[in-house]
């Protein structure tokens, strides 16, 4: 599995298809957190919102990189479709972890904050919640499910709006609303942790749907 | 080894591409699958490789180590050929150094033009096909599935591919391949499956007694009168016997080395007067004389 993640990571790195979502993420973080001196809960909520968009883009780019013959070779080499899908999720998660690190540090450089351990933990939880949700959307809207990327893009935008605006249903919406109004990171840690677990569940469901459709189409 | 029972395949509610396919692939088999364009050859191979699930029927006893070469290897990655093979070797459980060494060896045998460090996107179709072939052989496969592997390969790579197929079969693996050309399937396969209207039928094989294992090569002084350079034939790999017959030299060469010996002879200005394939001690299969050459 590690070898497979390394291969996918390298292919995406060499393709430079990560550049656009990476620049978008850095740009959004810079715009949303520059000269910010408010509580870090709201700051990291903004960064998590940027992470949602970029994780969808990264996942779709990662899966779209390899055409069917290449993917077939990788599937035969690993022995199963599922392992390749899990490695894809793992690779997207690694990229998102790198973005998460940047998303934790950059607001501290752009604004005026005094971060504590709880703030950093909350920032990590918030970004990972959005990353897991974004990877799930990226999987469902990937080339594995949709041959026509136009349809996939439209669905990705619809799902993005749904998780951002779905009040009381979407873990992303609940978390962002909660963090915008919260002032203490320590108090927000547990509720955000629960939402992170729900987002992980979303990711499992997204992966299962993608796997089922991939096998059906194979 | 691998067994397909009553396998059928259709995509969605489309037409049945394969129906009631019964197929048995045993260790050491070299099987060809032939059929017209769109007849379902690639689909059958994808089912055998485990890439595609049959709509009906079952595939059992699929081996763990499978090598697969798709019909087209559109290489638009920036990754280099040797790096790609190293990654594929790692994915198959080799260490990085072992994968790199094996990849180097395979690319050398296939004479990859452009070098091992050339990125895949810069390779021609034939050279990309060589990389695709190499990745399938990084670990000795129990089942080698090749979808039109000869397409795009140059003449020298044809010989190497034939050697790979023989080596895989000799090690107890099985090889299943497709090709449109009857001459190729007749030469390389021990059994031929024909696909027509979704049905697959076994049409035996080209050689009831097995592939010609030895080649008898008769070399003569060229008609132009240019004297050929003497060669220590016995020292060449695969030459089991060499004898003089007047001005002619008669060599008995193991089949897998015959191309190399023939090339050496031509490079030393010998003329080929005769070429006879043999199975063991008995003449068999083909006899090509100068007129045919």
For residue B13, give the CATH number of its domain. 3.40.50.300
Burial-class residue A140 by CB neighbours within 10 Å (0-12, 13-18, 19+): buried
List the pLDDT tens digit at each of the 293 positions of chain B: 788 888 899 888 888 888 888 888 888 888 888 888 888 888 999 999 999 989 998 888 888 899 999 988 876 678 889 999 999 999 999 999 999 999 999 998 888 887 788 888 888 888 888 999 999 999 989 999 999 888 878 877 888 888 888 888 888 888 999 887 766 777 778 888 888 888 888 776 544 444 556 788 889 888 887 888 888 887 787 777 788 877 888 888 877 778 888 888 888 888 888 887 654 443 333 344 333 33
Question: What residue numbers bound the domain in which B276 lies?
Answer: 214-289
Between vectors from CA A191 to CA A208 and to CA A51, what angle results, nearest 5°? 60
Q: How many domains does chain B have?
A: 2
Shortest CA distance from A15: residue in chain B: B78
What's the CA dihedral at A106, A107, A108, A109 to 10 degrees? 50
Instruction: List phi, psi (to 5°) of A141.
Output: -100, 15
Q: Estimate the crossing angle of helix A40-65 against helix A117-140, to 10 degrees.
A: 30
Tens of pLDDT, residue by residue over A190-204, are 999 999 999 999 999
One domain for residues B70 and B128 = yes
One domain for residues B164 and B260 = no
One domain for residues B110 and B234 = no
Does residue B208 form part of some domain? Answer: no
* Beta carbons within 10 angstroms of residue B13's beta carbon: 5
- What pLDDT score was predicted for residue A9? 93
Distance from CA of A58 to the nearest CA of B (A): 17
- What pLDDT score was predicted for residue B246? 79
One domain for residues B10 and B105 = yes
One domain for residues B126 and B24 = yes
Does residue B7 form part of some domain? Answer: yes
Task: Count how many residues are written for chain A.
Answer: 218
Which site among A61, A71, A73 would you substitute to test the B interface, given the most B Cβ atoms closer than 10 Å to its Cβ? A73
pTM: predicted TM-score of the whole model, two decimal places: 0.77
One domain for residues B194 and B261 = no
- What pLDDT score was predicted for residue B27? 83
Does residue B209 form part of some domain? Answer: no
* Chain A contact present for B4, CB below 8 A: no
Cα–Cα distance, B239 to B253 (Å, whole number): 4
* Chain A contact present for B64, CB below 8 A: yes
Cβ(B261)–Cβ(B236) below 8 Å: yes
Tokens of A31: 């715009």
- What pLDDT score was predicted for residue B205? 53
What's the Cα-to-Cα distance from A63 to each of A96, A128, A139, rounded to whole Å? 15, 20, 8
- What pLDDT score was predicted for residue B76? 66
Distance from CA of B190 to the nearest CA of A (A): 25
Shortest CA distance from A5: residue in chain B: B91
Q: In B83-213, at which residue ranges do the beta strands (DSSP E only) sit?
A: 143-147, 174-178, 191-196, 199-202
- Cβ contacts (< 8 Å) between A7 and chain B: which residues? 87-88, 90-91
**Secondary structure class of A194 (helix, strand, coil):** helix
Cα–Cα distance, B126 to B153 (Å, whole number): 5
Residue at token pair 């968009």 = A53
Low-confidence ranges of chain A (pLDDT < 50): none
One domain for residues B96 and B220 = no
Does residue B207 form part of some domain? Answer: no
Domain boundary among B202, B222, B244: B202
Nearest C-alpha neighbor of B286 from the set B258, B249, B260, B264: B258
* Chain A contact present for B103, CB below 8 A: no
Task: Count how many residues are written for chain B.
Answer: 293
One domain for residues B10 and B39 = yes
- Cβ contacts (< 8 Å) between A217 and chain B: which residues? 11
Distance from CA of B61 to the nearest CA of A (A): 14
Facing B51 at nearest CB: one of A4, A6, A218 = A218
- Cβ contacts (< 8 Å) between A67 and chain B: which residues? 74
Domain boundary among B202, B236, B265: B202
Distance from CA of B62 to the nearest CA of A (A): 11
């Amino acid at each position: 599995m590690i070898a497979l993640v390394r291969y996918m990571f390298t292919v995406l790195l060499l393709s430079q298809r990560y550049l656009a979502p990476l620049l978008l993420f850095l740009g959004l973080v810079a715009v949303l957190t520059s000269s910010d001196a408010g509580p870090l809960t709201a700051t990291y909520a903004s960064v998590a919102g940027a992470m949602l968009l970029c994780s969808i883009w990264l996942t779709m780019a990662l899966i779209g990189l390899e055409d069917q013959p290449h993917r077939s070779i990788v599937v035969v080499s690993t022995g199963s479709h599922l392992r390749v899908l899990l490695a894809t999720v793992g690779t997207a998660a690694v990229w998102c972890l790198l973005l998460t690190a940047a998303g934790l540090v950059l607001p501290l450089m752009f604004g005026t904050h005094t971060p504590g351990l709880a703030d950093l933990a909350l920032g990590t939880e918030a970004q990972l919640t959005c990353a897991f949700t974004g990877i799930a959307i990226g999987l469902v809207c990937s080339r594995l499910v949709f041959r026509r990327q136009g349809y996939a893009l439209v669905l990705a935008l619809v799902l993005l709006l749904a998780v951002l605006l779905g009040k009381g249903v979407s873990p992303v919406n609940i978390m962002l609303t909660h963090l915008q109004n919260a002032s203490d990171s320590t108090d927000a840690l547990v509720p955000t942790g629960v939402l992170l677990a729900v987002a992980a569940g979303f990711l499992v469901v997204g992966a299962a749907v993608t796997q089922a459709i991939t096998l059906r189409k194979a | 080894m691998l067994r397909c029972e009553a396998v059928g395949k259709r995509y969605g509610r489309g037409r049945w591409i394969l129906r009631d396919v019964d197929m048995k692939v045993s260790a050491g088999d070299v099987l060809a699958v032939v059929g017209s364009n769109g007849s379902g050859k690639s689909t059958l191979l994808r089912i055998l490789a485990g890439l595609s699930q049959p709509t009906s029927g079952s595939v059992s006893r699929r081996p763990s180590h499978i090598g697969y070469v798709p019909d087209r290897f559109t290489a638009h990655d920036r990754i280099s050929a040797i790096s790609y093979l190293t990654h594929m070797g790692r994915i198959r459980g080799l260490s990085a150094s072992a994968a790199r060494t094996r990849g180097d060896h395979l690319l050398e045998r296939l004479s990859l033009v452009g070098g091992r460090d050339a990125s895949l996107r810069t390779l021609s179709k034939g050279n990309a096909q060589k990389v695709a072939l190499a990745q399938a052989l990084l670990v000795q496969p129990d089942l080698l599935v090749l979808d039109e592997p000869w397409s795009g390969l140059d003449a020298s790579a044809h010989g190497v591919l034939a050697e790979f197929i023989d080596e895989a079969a000799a090690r107890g693996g099985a090889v299943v391949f497709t090709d449109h050309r009857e001459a190729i399937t007749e030469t390389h396969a021990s059994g031929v499956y024909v696909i027509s209207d979704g049905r697959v039928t076994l049409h035996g094989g080209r050689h009831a007694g097995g592939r010609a294992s030895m080649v008898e090569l008769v070399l003569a002084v060229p008609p132009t009168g240019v004297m050929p350079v003497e060669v220590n034939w016995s020292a060449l790999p695969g030459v089991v016997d060499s004898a003089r017959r007047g001005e002619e030299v008669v060599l008995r060469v193991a089949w897998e080395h015959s191309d190399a010996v023939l090339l050496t002879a031509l490079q030393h200005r010998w003329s080929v007067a005769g070429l006879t394939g043999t199975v063991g001690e008995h003449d068999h299969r083909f006899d090509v004389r100068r007129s045919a050459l």
